[in-house]
Structure 1
Amino acid sequence: MDRFWLSYRETVHSSKQNPSVISESDTLLVENDFDVAIAGGTLGIFIGCALQLRGWRVLVIEQGILKGREQEWNISRPELEAFLALDLLTSHELEQAIATEYNPGRVGFHQGIELWVRDVLNIGVDPVFLLATLKAKFLAHGGILLENMGFQQAIAHPNGIEIEVAHKSNGEKLKITARLLLDAMGHFSAIARQARIENRQRTKPEGVCMVVGSCAQGIPAKAYGDLIYTFAPIQNQCQYFWEAFPAKEGRTTYLFTYVDADLARPSFSQLFADYLHWLPQYQDVELEALKFKRTLFGFFPSYQQTPLQTAWHRILQVGDSSGSQSPLSFGGFGAMVRHLTRLTNGIDAALSGNFLSRNDLRSLQPYQPSLSVTWLFQKTMSVGINQKIEGNAINYLLSTVFASMQKLGDPVLKPFLQDVVQFPALSQTMLSMAIADPVLVTKIVTQVGIPPLLDWMQHYMNLGRYSLLDRLGKSLEPTFENLLPEQRYYWQRWYDQWKYGSGGDYHS
Structure 2
Amino acid sequence: MGQVQEILSQVNGNPLKGLQFADQRWSQWRNGQIPQLEIVQTSNQTLQEYDCDVVVCGGTLGIMLAAILQRQGWQVIVLEKGILQGRDQEWNISRSELVVLTELELLTPKELQEVIYTEYNPARVQFLHGEPLWVENILNIGVSPKALLAKLKEKFLTWGGKVFEHNACTTIEVYDNGAIAKTAKLTLKTRLILDGMGHFSPIAQQARQGRKPDGICLVVGSCAKGFEQNKTGDLIYSFTPIRNQCQYFWEAFPAKDGRTTYLFTYLDAHPDRFSLEFLLDEYLKLLPEYQQTELAALDFRRFLFGFFPSYRQSPVRYPWGRILPIGDSSGAQSPVSFGGFGSMLRHLARLTAGINDALKQDCCDRHSLAKLQPYQPNLSVTWLFQKAMSVGVQQRCNPNQINDLMNAVFEVMSELGDDVLNPFLQDVVQFKGLAKTLPRVNFKTVLPLLPTLGVGTLSDWLRHYLSLGVYSSGYHLSKKLPPTVDFRMQRLREALKYGSGNDFERENETT
Range class of TM-score, shorter chain: over 0.9
Distance 1:16 1:119 in 2: 39
- Choose the corresponding residue for 2:211, options 195, 203, 210: 203
Q: Is the 8 A contact 1:217 1:291 kept in 2?
A: yes
**Which residue of 2 is the match for residue 450 of structure 1?**
455
Of 469, 478, 500, 1:473 maps to 478
Aligned counterpart for 2:276 among listed residues 250, 253, 268: 268
Q: Comparing 42-51 with 261-270, which one deviates more in the overlay?
A: 261-270
| Cα separation, partners in 2 of 1:382 and 1:12, compared to 1, 3 Å | closer
> Secondary structure at the residue paired with 2:472?
helix
Shift of 1:380: 0.5
**Distance in 1, Cα, partners of 2:20 & 2:479:** 49
- Deviation of residue 294 (structure 1)? 0.5
Which residue pairs with 2:143 in the alignment? 125
1:150 is aligned, of 157, 168, 175, to 168
| Deviation of the 1:448 alpha carbon | 1.4
C-alpha contact 2:247 2:402 (8 A) present in aligned 1 = yes
SS at match of 1:124: strand
**2:235/2:252 contact within 8 Å kept:** yes
Asked if 1:254 corresponds to 2:255, the answer is: no
1:319 corresponding residue in structure 2: 327
| CA distance in 1: counterparts of 2:68 and 2:52, whole angstroms | 15
**Structure 2 counterpart of 1:218:** 226
Is the 1:220–1:283 contact (alpha carbons within 8 Å) kept by the matching residues of 2?
no
Note if 1:460 corresponds to 2:468.
no
Query: Is the contact made by 1:12 and 1:203 (CA closer than 8 Å) also made in structure 2?
Result: no
**Coordinate RMSD, CA, aligned:** 1.3
> Contact 1:60–1:144 at 8 Å: present in 2 too?
yes
Distance 2:446 2:113 in 1: 45
SS at match of 1:457: helix
Aligned to 1:52: 70
Asked whether the 8 Å contact 1:225–1:246 carries over to 2, the reply is yes
The yes-or-no answer on 1:88 pairing with 2:101 is: no
Confirm or deny: 8 A CA contact 2:100 2:345 kept in the other structure. yes
Q: Does 1:241 align with 2:245?
A: no
Size of the aligned set, in residue pairs, is: 488
Determine the C-alpha separation between the residues in 2 that align with 1:290 and 1:8.
28
The 8 Å contact of residues 422 and 504 in structure 1, kept in 2 or not, is answered as: yes
Q: Partner of 1:339 in structure 2?
A: 347
| C-alpha contact (below 8 Å) 1:67/1:131 kept by paired residues | yes
Select which of 159, 164, 167 maps to 1:141: 159
Answer yes or no: is the 8 Å Cα contact 2:401–2:445 preserved in 1: no
Indicate the SS of the match to 1:23. strand
Question: Deviations 1:181-208 (Å, cap 9, x if unpaired)?
Answer: 00000000010011123xxxx7210111
Q: State the distance in 2 between where 1:316 and 1:256 align.
A: 30
How far apart are 1:472 and its partner, in Å?
A: 1.1
**Residues of 2 paired with 1:500 and 1:426: CA distance?**
16
Distance 2:199 2:290 in 1: 30
Look up the SS of the partner of 2:293 in the other structure.
coil
Compute the TM-score of the two structures, normalised by the length of structure 2: 0.94
Structural mapping, 1:339-358, within 5 Å: 339-358=347-366
Q: Which AA in structure 2 matches 1:360?
A: S
Identity of aligned residues (%): 52
- State the TM-score, normalized to the length of structure 1: 0.94
Equivalent-residue separation in structure 2 for 1:47 and 1:442 (angstroms): 45
Correspondent of 2:54 among 36, 39, 54: 36
Of 180, 183, 187, which residue of structure 1 is paired with 2:195?
183
Extract unaligned runs of 5+ from structure 1.
Answer: 167-172
